[in-house]
Chain A
Amino acid sequence: MTWGQLVRSALEAIQWNRLRSLLTVLGIVIGIAAVMVTVGLGEGAQAKVSSKIAALGSNLLTVAPGSTSAGPGVRRGLGSASTLTMADAAALSSRVVAPAVAAVAPLTSQHETLTNGAIDWPTTVDGTTPSWLGIRSRSVEIGRFINAQDEASSADVVVLGALTAQELFSTSNPIGRVVDVGPLPMTVIGVLTPVGSGTSVTSNQDDLAIVPISTAQGSLMGISANDSVQSILLRATSSSTLSAAYQEADHELMMLHGVTNPANADFTITAEQSLFSAATSISATLTALLAGIATVSLLVGGIGVMNIMLVSVTERTREIGLRKALGAKPSDIRRQFLVEASVLGVCGGLIGAALGLLGQLLLPSLISNPVIIPPIVTVAAIAVALMISLLFGVYPAARAAQLSPIDALRSE
């Protein structure tokens, strides 16, 4: 018998036993769909976390005042808590001092109420430099961001987060309008592109106001010539230079602050990357767990195929006997059952894959989580379905082939 004939007669047998075939396939279908959706959920969660982290700014380091190794008896920072200055930020910007640092943005942050006529809106007001935009991987939707000139002249200008702008100005265009930031009237020069709510990873990134850091330090805080900053954001040239950037910044700041013993450092550098890798590893663990469960369900599906193929062999003993009486060799019978099992497997795989892809389309709207199924997973799922049915089809097929023709024919 040729393979074409085998497949043809397998299709006939499957069609003839529609219900039984359907039940056989069901286990595989559920297994495959489960594996695909599971992997898709895991990948989706990972992608979601990645994009959230990326929205925070990639390759980011944050320098904050104060020591991490603040055990009892260890002296905390020198002087006030605010030990970082504009001079520190300027030093770190130097290509020579810190070649692995691509961009630096000093940051001061305070809570102020913004007022537009009768509308009050309390928010976070960040004083920073133009490089903040790039470091935070943000963009301006309308208008412009603060520039070096605003910075130099301590201009009374403000850039609003999308939500802040909406709260204060509703749908009307805020550009050029004046808003009171605390006691100070400032001109709105731009609105940031919204990034969506960041509730799970960070506070709402669309609710904030940005002013030049010189403005913040000067008129806003009411203390002139105060050049202290609350934190300094650093971006490494790439994720691979993150630790180099860390060391360069660490070394330079220790020198500037006259600290010789690292344990006495009056500042702390943290990498957002660590948050990223923690989040990634959590979702990877989750994916592995779910994939494990799905694999078990695939195995159950495979045993289902074996079970039904065995029933099929018993049920069709007479047919096997007759085929042998007419000249079928053991290998012919073995192939017949193997081909039947694998046709069932491929059908189950295809239907399961279709269901999985359907899940990819429908699930996100139900669970508000992305489901990303890489094409390779679809292909692999179908291959696995085929392999499982082949594997679990071998035993029933071998049993069928070994039946003696007369015993088989005589059975009722």
Chain B
Amino acid sequence: MEVVLAESDPTSAQDLLVLKDIGKRYQLGHLFVEALRGVSFTVVANDYVAITGPSGSGKSTLMHLIGCLDVPTSGDLTIAGELVRDLDQAELAEIRNRRIGFVFQQFNLLRTMTAQRNVELPLLYAGVPRKERRDRAAALLERVGLGRHMNHHPMELSGGQQQRVAIARALVNEPSIILADEPTGNLDSQSAEEVLGIFEELNQLGRTLVVITHDATVAARASRALHIRDGQLQEVS
């Protein structure tokens, strides 16, 4: 397979995410753990990909690489036309800020801030003026059904509500890809359903999503599923 580098204008790039022979090796003292071994796949715009696999198979590791939170030990990762290997810390930060919207299993909201200010965070680092930040955060919270909870702190919200705040935060800077690592893992079925509903809606509106899950029903909602076992990909359907 040829390495396909997208055109210079990333918004017109069809292949939003290109993984080529990605490997990740962790070192624990003298012991090496091969968390990923030669993973290759491509995610195109408006794709909705579920990644499934047993515990310890390397799902989270993969997600962290795609989200530029970590760097692969081998292989090439291209996000929206940019080869991640070539980027320095500040440029990686910029990719995380503008290209990626992350939804974590543990929500990861700052407890010192209100829902609205949590959602504003990515805009803060994007240098968006205060007024616009407020408006955009408020609009998104409205959209995920939390219009009346904007000034609540995370501790005053239910798990499902917190995850919706986290989704609003992931969406606020209009990222190219939304990455979710077990987004429903800490939620009851009712809240999980709400979150999946939002994802479906986003996909219908043209968003690209990559969702990690070990729940078959969650995977079934995606356009396609990738199965990982022992750090290697096994395409299912």
Residues of A within 8 A of B125 (CB): 1, 323, 326-329, 332
A233 and B67 CA atoms in complex are apart in Å by 91
- What residue in chain A is nearest B99 (Cβ atoms)? A327
- What residue in chain A is nearest B70 (Cβ atoms)? A406
Residues of B within 8 A of A323 (CB): 121, 125
Q: Which chain A residues numbered 320 to 347 have a C-beta less than 8 Å away from chain B?
A: 322-332
Known contacts: A1-B124, A1-B125, A331-B90. The answer to whether A324 contacts B108 by CB under 8 A is no
Provide the main secondary structure of the chain A interface: helix
Residue A16 at the chain B interface, CB threshold 8 Å: yes
CB distance from B26 to the nearest CB of A (A): 11
Residues of A within 8 A of B94 (CB): 327, 329
Residue A404 at the chain B interface, CB threshold 8 Å: yes
Q: Chain A 304-328, CB within 8 Å of chain B: the 1/0 string?
A: 0000000000000011001111111
Residues of A within 8 A of B113 (CB): 12
CB distance from A14 to the nearest CB of B (A): 10
Residue A405 at the chain B interface, CB threshold 8 Å: yes
- What residue in chain B is nearest A5 (Cβ atoms)? B124
In the complex the two chains form, is A325's CB within 8 Å of B126's CB? no
Residues of A within 8 A of B67 (CB): 325
Partner among A16, A318, A324 whose Cβ is within 8 Å of the Cβ of B96 = A324
Known contacts: A13-B112, A404-B70, A406-B70. The answer to whether A329 contacts B102 by CB under 8 A is no
Q: Chain B 110-148, CB within 8 Å of chain A: the 1/0 string?
A: 101100000001101111001000000000000000000
Q: Which chain B residues numbered 78 to 118 have a C-beta less than 8 Å away from chain A?
A: 89-90, 93-94, 96-98, 102, 104, 108, 110, 112-113
A12 and B96 CA atoms in complex are apart in Å by 25
Partner among A5, A16, A322, A324 whose Cβ is within 8 Å of the Cβ of B93 = A324
CB distance from A83 to the nearest CB of B (A): 87
Interface centre among B94, B121, B169 (most CB of A within 10 A): B121
In the complex the two chains form, is A409's CB within 8 Å of B93's CB? no
Partner among B97, B110, B112, B130 whose Cβ is within 8 Å of the Cβ of A327 = B97
Chain A residues bordering chain B, tally (CB within 8 A): 22
Known contacts: A323-B121, A329-B125. The answer to whether A406 contacts B69 by CB under 8 A is yes
CB distance from A325 to the nearest CB of B (A): 6
Interface centre among A13, A318, A409 (most CB of B within 10 A): A409
In the complex the two chains form, is A327's CB within 8 Å of B93's CB? yes
Residues of A within 8 A of B93 (CB): 324, 327-330, 332
Known contacts: A405-B69, A406-B64, A406-B69. The answer to whether A326 contacts B112 by CB under 8 A is no
A326 and B67 CA atoms in complex are apart in Å by 10
- What residue in chain B is nearest A332 (Cβ atoms)? B125
Residues of A within 8 A of B112 (CB): 12-13, 16
In the complex the two chains form, is B108's CB within 8 Å of A327's CB? no
CB distance from B180 to the nearest CB of A (A): 13
CB distance from B134 to the nearest CB of A (A): 13
Q: Chain A 369-412, CB within 8 Å of chain B: the 1/0 string?
A: 00000000000000000000000000000000000111001000
Q: Which chain B residues numbered 184 to 219 have a C-beta less than 8 Å away from chain A?
A: none
A409 and B104 CA atoms in complex are apart in Å by 10
Partner among B70, B90, B121 whose Cβ is within 8 Å of the Cβ of A326 = B121
Q: Which chain A residues numbered 274 to 322 have a C-beta less than 8 Å away from chain B?
A: 318-319, 322
Q: Which chain B residues numbered 160 to 185 have a C-beta less than 8 Å away from chain A?
A: 169, 173
- What residue in chain A is nearest B101 (Cβ atoms)? A326
CB distance from B60 to the nearest CB of A (A): 9
Residues of B within 8 A of A331 (CB): 90
29 A–B pairs (Cβ distance < 8 Å), ordered by A: A1-B125, A5-B124, A5-B130, A12-B112, A12-B113, A16-B112, A323-B125, A324-B93, A325-B67, A325-B69, A325-B108, A326-B96, A326-B125, A327-B93, A327-B96, A327-B98, A327-B125, A327-B126, A329-B89, A329-B90, A329-B93, A329-B125, A404-B69, A405-B69, A405-B96, A406-B69, A406-B70, A409-B69, A409-B104
Which B residues are within 8 Å of any A CB, using their own CB? 64, 67, 69-70, 89-90, 93-94, 96-98, 102, 104, 108, 110, 112-113, 121-122, 124-127, 130, 169, 173
| Further pairs besides A325-B96, A329-B90: 13, Cβ < 8 Å | A1-B127, A5-B130, A13-B112, A322-B108, A324-B69, A325-B67, A325-B69, A325-B102, A328-B125, A329-B93, A330-B89, A331-B90, A406-B69
Of all A-B residue pairs in the complex, the 9 with the closest CB atoms, nearest first, are A327-B97, A327-B125, A406-B69, A329-B93, A16-B112, A406-B70, A405-B69, A329-B90, A326-B122
